[in-house]
Amino acid sequence: MFDVIISGGGPTGMMLASELRLHDVDVLVLERDAEPNNAVRSLGLHPRSIEIMDQRGLLDRFLAHGRQYPGGVGRFAGIDKPGPANFDTAHGYVLGIPQPVTDRLLAERAAELGAQIRRGCEVKGVEQDEDEVSVGLADGTRLRSRWLVGCDGGRSLVRGLLGIGFPGEAASTEWILGEVELTMPPDELAKVADKVRKTHKGFGIGPAGNGVYRAVVPAAAVAGDRSVPPTLAEFRTQLRAYAGTDFGVHSPRSLSRFSDATRLAEQYRAGRVFLAGDAAHVHPPLGGQGLNLGIQDAFNLGWKLAAEVNGWAPDGLLDSYYVERHPVAEDVLTITRAQSELLSPEPGPRAVRRLLTELMDFEDVRRFLAEKISAIGVRYDFGEGPELLGRRLRDIRLTRGRLYELTREGRGLLLDQTGELSVTGWQDRIDHVADVSRELDAPAVLLRPDGHVAWIGDDQTDLLRHLPRWFGDAAEGAGDANDRHV
């Protein structure tokens, strides 16, 4: 029997598998497709996701395959403005990187850490009791695990089998996305594309590298079965309908569909089964938040589920996944709905767009919108306290290096500038760093494994009251052990 089975080997599933393996959880990833999907449905990572990669020592791998766009954080609904000054992150840029590359890098990481990955394995049934989950596969095989996480996309079979409601708006508009080669000369293509974009906000075409172009065009109608990919003939027809030419497209690398469907699961957990990523929420791709939201779901759930498997999770820790992440997804759906309206050609939305364009000249407005899309502004409700409480802590410089260099193992961290505090009894879960930073205006902070600030102060008694909330009871017989200093 496995500790955790993950249904879905996309970025959310692989990120979750890696997080669980950091804590020696026995993980099996089941992916329906026999080969990795080469569709480029996402083009980049936002600042918070970039921070997550840095926290786990993966950033260099991603930087080697991506391109930094500092102006990307200032873009909202296609309105280009400079990013906010002094943005609260060491990574104030969007990292342009095609989703197949992101998928590959995260899958490689999960495999390196020891996750088992089985491709060509489709989940067909889920049964559970108080102690375990039974997962039925298409070939008749049944597997057992203590927990199951559905990371199987917007048409999640796991969510459907659990009967979890998925309210929202059905798709009213659909687009076809293709990575193709073409015969039209670049200069002519640029002229045609610029002309079409002025009248059709849902159209775009441009180079994707290595002689391949990425094009998106509205579909003729919402497909009855969106799991069936569009044909090249359908793609050409729509290009001609909007641009007057099909640009000579040929040799498609990938063809896929996406829509403006907007839905949010009513709950993220049913017994021993969780949902994460698109299985829990779908929305239009405006702002590019989908993949990032899924990675951040996995980052929140991973350490909590590992704590439960390893026997030290306090009461309520698993349920805090929904409490914290559901409002974040609601916020993303609000942002994408707003951007969809702002792209409408109707007079009312156009007027609002003109007004917002003027408002975005104000620094505070740009900062507010950039924090929303990038997830830098996420603050979990940990109760009353300083403004930093509940927020993630940016990568600050310490006397001996950088903060994120100390977070590679996914453990809790007490950053102690007083040198007088202790986490004795919790050394198996928390590292104690007695160091100072001119960038931290607090005597000491306790960070959860996901980097969010769980406590601020300098009083040992107060610290001892807060440790059990996130890290469970102190280990028996550990009272005389020394802190693990790093």
Residues in the chain: 486
Tokens in use for 415?
A: 């950053």
Measured between alpha carbons, how far is residue 196 from residues 43, 191, 222, 284 in Å?
Answer: 22, 9, 22, 21
Sign of the torsion formed by the C-alpha atoms of 110, 305, 128 and 126? negative
- Which CATH architecture group holds 397-471? 3-Layer(aba) Sandwich (3.40)
pLDDT of residue 486: 60
Pair 298, 4: CB distance under 8 Å: no
Q: To which H or E segment does residue 49 belong?
A: helix 47-55
pLDDT of residue 485: 57
Asked, colleague to colleague, whether 2-168+263-374 and 173-259 share their fold, the answer is no
pLDDT of residue 274: 98
pTM above 0.75, yes or no: yes
Domain 173-259 adopts which CATH fold? Alpha-Beta Plaits (3.30.70)
Residue 285 has pLDDT above 90, yes or no: no
CA separation for the pair 284, 437 (Å, rounded): 41
Residue of 106 and 76 predicted with greater confidence? 106
Residue of 34 and 155 predicted with greater confidence? 155
Q: Where do the domains of the chain lie?
A: 2-168+263-374, 173-259, 397-471
> SS3 for 20?
helix
Of 58-67, 283-292, 425-434, least confident by mean pLDDT is 283-292
Give rounded-to-5 percent helix, strand, coil for the chain: 35, 25, 40
Helix axes 11-21, 99-112, angle to 10 degrees: 20
Q: Which CATH number fits domain 2-168+263-374: 3.40.50.300, 3.40.1260.10, 1.25.40.10, 3.50.50.60?
A: 3.50.50.60
pLDDT of residue 305: 98
Pair 249, 215: CB distance under 8 Å: yes
128 CA to centre of own chain: 28
Residue of 432 and 224 predicted with greater confidence? 432
Dihedral, 43, 46, 52, 53 alpha carbons, nearest 10: 40
The count of other CB atoms within 10 Å of the CB of residue 241 is 12
Task: Work out the mean pLDDT of the chain and round it to a whole number.
Answer: 92
> SS3 for 63?
helix
Averaged over 47-52, what is the pLDDT?
Answer: 97
Among 274, 302, 278, residue whose Cα is nearest residue 289 = 278
* pLDDT tens per residue across span 330-386: 999 999 899 888 878 789 988 999 999 999 999 999 999 999 999 999 999 999 999
Residue 226 has pLDDT above 80, yes or no: no
Averaged over 282-288, what is the pLDDT?
Answer: 80
pLDDT band at 480 (very low <50, low <70, confident <90, very high): very low
